[in-house]
């Protein structure tokens, strides 16, 4: 996230679905979905031949057959009938949220539809939420998205770039990179949310799937952020790129690089580094860790 001269906020993320959220809620200052737009997305149009990609590829993995059919239709309607890019972004945001709330753990890391459908006594989860129809969830999240649109009197911009391609010269730069734990294992955001990334690039989705994976995740690309021997270098590259800005770095205190190494690195470029910590419990984590915030001026 970049704040430039008090006049512009720039949001950047290299995952397309997160960038789409920035487009809907940061760059967008005045566009909302109308009642006609909502009906356009939800309705089956008899003159259209809808694809069955999600139904054929993800049967029995994340959602029921009926739900997969609804998703195929909705995403096709968003892509081809909602012609305004900001309206498409709002509709996709609502679609992401609807998919997430209907998932155990709110993730797509396992093929575990059975957890929703099993007739067992439950001590966790929200079966009512899981069983609520997609259309109901989607319309509710679309209303929430509409309510979040406002004009902050700035020309905001959402980008989908590598961190080392981001614009420079901002007043403040907030850096929230992928987390690499002490064992050298990174948080796999693409693995957790690959289904949402696929929805964003629906037409290209078939070519990006790792067909060897049980839950049809996307093919992954190598990243220096997930390499213990390279992560300090890429941290330095980003920090050096924005050394003339106030830097705010979000990380965890038990990761690679460690807090001491990260602070030492930042002090090569900034005079003062202030730190704040908060204990945080993460889903599926075996132990608590501390969220670390470093402010460098």
pLDDT of 210 > 80? The answer is yes
Domains in the chain, CATH or no CATH each = 1-14+155-178+223-297 (3.40.50.150), 30-148 (no CATH)
**Average pLDDT value for residue range 260-277:** 94
Compute and round to an integer the Cα radius of gyration of the chain.
21
Give the pLDDT score at 130: 92
- Tell me the C-alpha distance between 54 and 42, whole Å: 16
| Angle in degrees, CA 217, 62, 204, rounded to 5 | 40
Q: b/e map of 206-240 (b: 16 or more CB within 10 Å)?
A: eeebeeeeebbbbeeeeeebbeeeebbebbeebbe
With a CB cutoff of 8 Å and minimum separation 6, the contacts of 68 are 54, 55, 58, 59
- Per-residue model confidence as pLDDT tens digits over 183-199: 888 888 899 999 999 99
pLDDT of 119 > 70? The answer is yes
pLDDT of 26 > 70? The answer is yes
Give the pLDDT score at 200: 97
**Average pLDDT value for residue range 233-252:** 95
Q: In the predicted model, what is the mean pLDDT of the chain? A: 91
Of residues 277 and 26, the one with the higher pLDDT is 26
pLDDT of 282 > 80? The answer is no
Confidence of residue 208 (pLDDT cuts 50, 70, 90): very high
Strand ordering across the sheet containing 2-4: 157-159, 8-12, 2-4, 172-175, 246-252, 289-296, 273-280
% residues pLDDT > 90 (the chain): 71
């Amino acid at each position: 996230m970049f704040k430039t001269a008090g006049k512009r906020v720039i949001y950047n993320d290299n995952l397309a679905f997160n960038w789409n959220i920035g487009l809907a809620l940061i760059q967008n200052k005045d566009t909302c979905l109308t009642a006609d737009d909502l009906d356009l997305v939800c309705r089956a149009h008899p003159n259209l031949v809808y694809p069955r990609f999600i139904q054929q590829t993800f049967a029995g993995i994340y959602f029921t057959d009926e739900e997969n059919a609804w998703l195929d239709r909705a995403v096709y309607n968003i892509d081809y009938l909602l012609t305004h890019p900001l309206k498409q972004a709002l509709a996709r945001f609502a679609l992401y949220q609807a998919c997430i709330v209907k998932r155990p753990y709110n993730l797509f890391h396992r093929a575990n539809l059975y957890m929703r459908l099993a007739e067992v006594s439950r001590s966790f989860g929200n079966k009512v939420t899981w069983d609520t129809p997609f259309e109901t969830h989607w319309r509710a999240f679309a209303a929430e998205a509409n309510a979040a649109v406002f004009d902050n009197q700035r020309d905001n911009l959402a980008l989908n770039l590598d961190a080392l391609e981001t614009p420079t010269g901002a007043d403040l730069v907030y850096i929230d990179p992928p987390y690499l734990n002490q064992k050298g294992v990174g948080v796999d955001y693409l693995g957790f949310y690959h289904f949402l990334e696929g929805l964003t690039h629906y037409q290209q989705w078939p070519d990006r799937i790792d067909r060897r994976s049980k839950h049809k995740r996307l093919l992954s690309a190598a990243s220096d952020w997930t390499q213990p021997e390279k992560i300090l270098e890429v941290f330095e590259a980003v920090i050096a790129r924005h050394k003339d800005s106030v830097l705010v770095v979000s990380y965890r205190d038990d990761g690679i690089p460690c807090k001491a190494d990260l602070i030492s690195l930042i002090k090569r470029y900034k005079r003062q580094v202030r730190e704040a910590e908060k204990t945080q419990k993460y889903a599926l984590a075996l132990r608590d860790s501390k969220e670390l915030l470093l402010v460098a001026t």
